[in-house]
Chains A and B, each alone.
Chain A
Amino acid sequence: MEAGHRTTVMERAHQALQDEFLRKAVRFTTARLKNNKLRAADELGRWEDWREQGRRIRAHTVAHLDYYLKQFADNVRARGGHVHFAADAAEASEVVTRIVREKQARRIVKSKSMVSEEVHINRHLEALGAEVVETDLGEYIIQLAGEAPSHIIAPAIHKNREQIRDLFTKAGGENLGTDTPSLAGFARRQLREKFLQADVGITGCNFGIAESGTVVLFTNEGNGRMVTTLPPVHIVMMGMERLLPTFADLEVMANLLPRAGTGQKLTAYMSMITGPRRPDELDGPEELHVVILDNNRSSQLGDPDFQEVLHCIRCGACLNVCPVYRQIGGHAYGSVYSGPIGAVLTPLLNQGPEYADLPYASSLCGACYEACPVKIPLHDMLVRLRQRNVREGRVKSAERMAFRGFRQVFASPGRYRFVLRVARTAQRPLVRQGYIESTFGPLFGWTHSRHAPALDPAPFRDRWKRLSSELAERAAEARSERTAVTGRPDDDLHQGRASNDAPRQDGVKGGDERE
């Protein structure tokens, strides 16, 4: 929009739409994830009750975040961990780079963490001269490609096996095939050594358990366990809202998150880390740091329109069902969080014009809300963000004028009738067989790719007089036919009442006949 050198979501979407492979790959994978989720939810049963329970737990936690955050931090420290509070991305990366400098760490391994992406921690660590290796297979692939993740849980969804083979060959793979076992085997061998040599491990955090100071990670590959087992220092980077009061609440999230994300009953690993290794333990980190990030999350608290965005558990289900995401993929959103949650979260975490166009990358169909395991009304938030853009004057003047005109026309019946009369005449040169096909004009956004129905030559108000008399005639005919057969106008209705005291279920039919 107003951003100078930055591209708009429209431009990025156009670019993505030219990439046939990307579109096919994203459609294929999201459809698979979506169907797996539906199957898993069905198998569990009472999915709506589970969603509601999930929503309640998240709502309670976020509404009492001050209490649970303090309890969590106290418990992390009581178990021997260190807690750091970071107001924004700059502070968070400062904390992490300070720890890495103090430890004189050269080799860093990471498991997937959206917060670390949000903070762009790799860039800061590489500036120190440290080697940073992403160890989630998908993240490893996009790190070699120098790209950002394009899906919350399937970051390399847009890469095909030939591209992956080429990236791995550049990284030192010799005579690699394009079959999955060869490619995965190469990554396993490369990364195994990295795990064993690493000085520092960085992970995200799916949930922090307040009652015990435990960090919970849901992973499938085992890299999360490697990163929290082998390096002598473990740094956790977490958003401040990522808490649950108790282990009992974790059972609900463990039923919702994997199912919503991939359709699994449970991920291959659910790892619960509580403090650093204890005396006499031989593996696990000697030092544990937990970095808790605000970065404009707190600005959503107390805002009835947006507080619920902090309920998100980052499952990616809304991406998989979004008709827009499925066409344009994750990179078109231009930030680390993509899809419907990204279109809401990104402009909230980064106020200002830069991402203000993201809420328009949506058809407002509400599929995201339906898919959300904790019932976040993302479609409402997208509308409210558009309203916010209007309030802050972040719309084109033509659009502002059009809506002002709309208000004036629709506020007065006389003006409305007049305008429609004029429009009916003015549309004539554009109408072909009842539709407007136009590659120019104010409705171009609609008409360049689909037909818009033309205004009918006779308005409904004019036709209504004729229609209502026709309807009355038909109703009279029906009545006289029935009387001829039964001798009584509403015979079956009376019988129904007599034989059954309960009110009739087919109320519509009954109502018709009473008339």
Chain B
Amino acid sequence: MNEAAFLQRIAARLGRPAPLCEPPARDEVGAPAFWRDYHLPMEARVEKFITELEKLGGHARAFENLAALRTGLADLLAQLAPRRIGTWGPSWVRAHGLEEVLAGYEQVAWSPEEDGRTVIRRLAQVDVGITGCDFAVADTGTIGVVTSPEQGRSVSLLPPVHIALVPVSRLHTRLGEALAIVAERPDAVASSVNFITGPSRSSDIEGDGTVGIHGPAAVFALLWDDREPGR
């Protein structure tokens, strides 16, 4: 059916001679006012994020600064003992100074220089995927990742373990704050934005919960304080 006829039928059923062209007036948009007032100070926000993620079987730890986080990441990797590690692109790895921490492992970096099919096939073989985080939500223990040429969708999806590095400056109290950032430029939303809340889960076998059915079975969030000192 053509679009015009499809929309015309809807308009006619709604009692309009032609489809509406002007944005309809709205008295209220989005969450109730009391919810929009919900705002946790940073310390409580970090605590809430960690509590919520751990409730879901995820793991979270906060570090004082990036250097401390790097040490923590090195320890975590030593524990997990992966053979191969996948990461977001080389410039992201450099920006976080992770070269040294990752040096001992076979790596698959997500790079626009590579051939897509090949890099996906290689990434499907890694044991741990390490990504950044574009926004996190304390209320639900959620990690938000935005796709870009260096930030592949697969890195947080294909490996059985996902480690996300979360700068607290991007940690918000509620989901709506993260959505507001996405909505700032509605005409330029990234091809894929994923909000990840704990490990992949299913209860389809007799209602018995199981993790890691398709996505990662383990999710680690490592937070660090990236705010300017004195703020």
- Residue ranges of A at the interface with B (Cβ–Cβ < 8 Å): 25, 28-29, 32, 46, 49-50, 53, 56, 60, 63-67, 69-70, 73, 75, 78-79, 83, 85-87, 91, 135-138, 141, 154-157, 160-161, 164, 180-181, 183-184, 187-188, 191-192, 195-196, 211-212, 214, 220-223, 225-226, 228-230, 240, 245-252, 254-255, 262, 265-278, 280-284, 292, 294, 298-299, 301-302
Across the interface, A266 reaches (CB within 8 A) one of B142, B154, B187, namely B142
The stretch of B29-37, B65-73, B93-101 in contact with A is: B29-37
Per-position contact with A for B1-30: 1 when CB-CB < 8 Å, else 0? 111001101110111100111111010111
Write 11 A-B pairs (CB below 8 A) sorted by A numbering: A154-B203, A161-B205, A221-B215, A230-B120, A248-B176, A252-B32, A269-B194, A269-B196, A276-B191, A281-B112, A301-B14
A137–B148 alpha-carbon span in the complex (Å): 30
Q: A221-B201, A222-B215 are in contact. Are A280 and B31 (CB under 8 A)?
A: no
B45 in contact (CB, < 8 A): no
With A196-B120, A226-B214, A252-B31: A282-B190 Cβ-Cβ less than 8 Å: no
How many inter-chain residue pairs (CB < 8 Å) link A and B? Answer: 265
* Pairs A-B, 3 closest by C-beta atoms: A222-B215, A248-B30, A138-B204
Interface residues of B (CB under 8 A from A): 1-3, 6-7, 9-11, 13-16, 19-24, 26, 28-32, 34-35, 52, 56, 110, 112, 114, 116, 119-121, 124, 139-140, 142, 147-149, 152-154, 157, 174-176, 179-180, 182-183, 186-187, 189-208, 210, 212-216
Establish whether residues A187 and B213, one from each chain, have CB atoms under 8 Å apart when the complex forms: yes
**Minimum CB–CB distance for A227 against chain B, Å:** 10
What are the residues of chain B within 8 A of A275 when measuring CB–CB? 191
Contacts of A180 in B (CB 8 A): 205-206, 208, 210
Identify which of A60, A136, A267, A271 contacts B192 (C-beta below 8 A): A271
In the assembled complex, the CB of A85 is this many whole angstroms from the nearest CB of chain B, namely 4
A225→B157 contact, CB < 8 A: yes
Q: In the complex where A138-B204, A266-B142 touch, is A56 in contact with B28 (Cβ < 8 A)?
A: yes
Whether B215 contacts A212 by the Cβ 8 Å rule is: no
A29 and B11 in contact, given A251-B175, A269-B195, A282-B114 (Cβ under 8 angstroms): no
Assuming the contacts A268-B197, A282-B120, asked whether A221 and B13 have C-beta atoms less than 8 A apart, the reply is no
A269–B2 touching, CB < 8 Å: no
Given contacts A67-B20, A85-B6, contact A282 B152 (CB under 8 A): yes
- In the complex, are the beta carbons of B194 and A270 less than 8 A apart? yes
**Given the complex, which residues of B lie within 8 Å of A212, measured CB to CB?**
182-183, 186-187, 189
